[in-house]
Amino acid sequence: MSTHTIYRVTCDAPHCSAVGIIEKITDVPDGWRRVSSADHLADWRPGRRRNPSTGRQYTDKRSPWDVSAGSFALHLCPADSTAFDGHLPRTEGAVMLARERDRRVLVSCSCGALSRTTKDLLWVGRDPMPTSEVERTWWLHLPAELQEYATRGRVMESA
Ligand SMILES: [Zn+2]
Ligand SMILES: [Zn+2]
């Protein structure tokens, strides 16, 4: 017997149930778009920087692992590739302090309405919300229609 792992990804656009199959969690199904909150960090490298306001050189002590902390991705099928263009998430992690187990992450959105710092913790709660603190911070500011992906497929309990 031979086995191999595949992942099913569901389109994150409102009212869409399109499913794509991928072999690695970082793959993108053919024709789909993957919007990652770390897309803007693709060319990020550790090392020396110049502070734009003072002109002084300093060393950015963060690793690629630090800056991408808490990042998350949305998957959009070909019909919905622009569904989130008004709200593209953006995250950037800080250096991990020796005495802490999590990093501070700056969370913002292309709409400009959000710029907040949180921690890259997993949310443990009963709410039907994204499971990470970082994604949840971004998700909370979305219009209700775009929030749908987090609750889709869940049976809402009624008291
Ligand atoms: Zn879709
Ligand atoms: Zn937004």
- The C-alpha R_g of the chain, in whole angstroms, comes to 18
Listed residue (122, 150, 134) closest to 10, CA to CA: 150
- Above 50 in pLDDT, residue 159? no
Chain mean pLDDT for the chain:
89
Q: How buried is residue 142: exposed, middle or buried, by Cβ count under 10 Å (0-12/13-18/19+)? A: buried
Q: How far is the CA of 138 from the centre of ligand 2 (A)?
A: 8
Ligand nearest to the CA of 148: 1
pLDDT band at 154 (very low <50, low <70, confident <90, very high): low
pLDDT band at 20 (very low <50, low <70, confident <90, very high): very high
42 versus 78: the higher-pLDDT residue is 78
Q: What's the mean pLDDT in 133-139?
A: 95
pLDDT tens digits, 58-96: 888 898 889 999 999 999 999 999 999 999 999 999 987
**DSSP string across 38-96:** TGGGTT---EEEE-TTT--EEEE---HHHHTTT--EEEE-GGGTTTTTTS-EEEEE-PP
- Above 80 in pLDDT, residue 126? no
pLDDT band at 153 (very low <50, low <70, confident <90, very high): low
- Dig out the tokens for 27 from the structure: 């793959």
Q: What is the pTM of this model?
A: 0.85
Q: How far is the CA of 4 from the centre of ligand 2 (A)?
A: 38
Residues in the chain, how many?
159
- Above 80 in pLDDT, residue 157? no
Q: How far is the CA of 88 from the centre of ligand 1 (A)?
A: 16
DSSP structural state of residue 68: T
Q: How far is the CA of 112 from the centre of ligand 2 (A)?
A: 6
Q: How far is the CA of 6 from the centre of ligand 2 (A)?
A: 32
b/e burial code for range 110-130 (CB count within 10 A of at least 16 → b): eeeebeeebbbbeeeeeeeeb
Ligand 1 is an ion; its neighbours by CB within 5 Å are 11, 13, 16, 18, 77, 80
Task: Give the model's pLDDT for residue 125.
Answer: 73
pLDDT tens digits, 47-61: 888 888 888 888 888
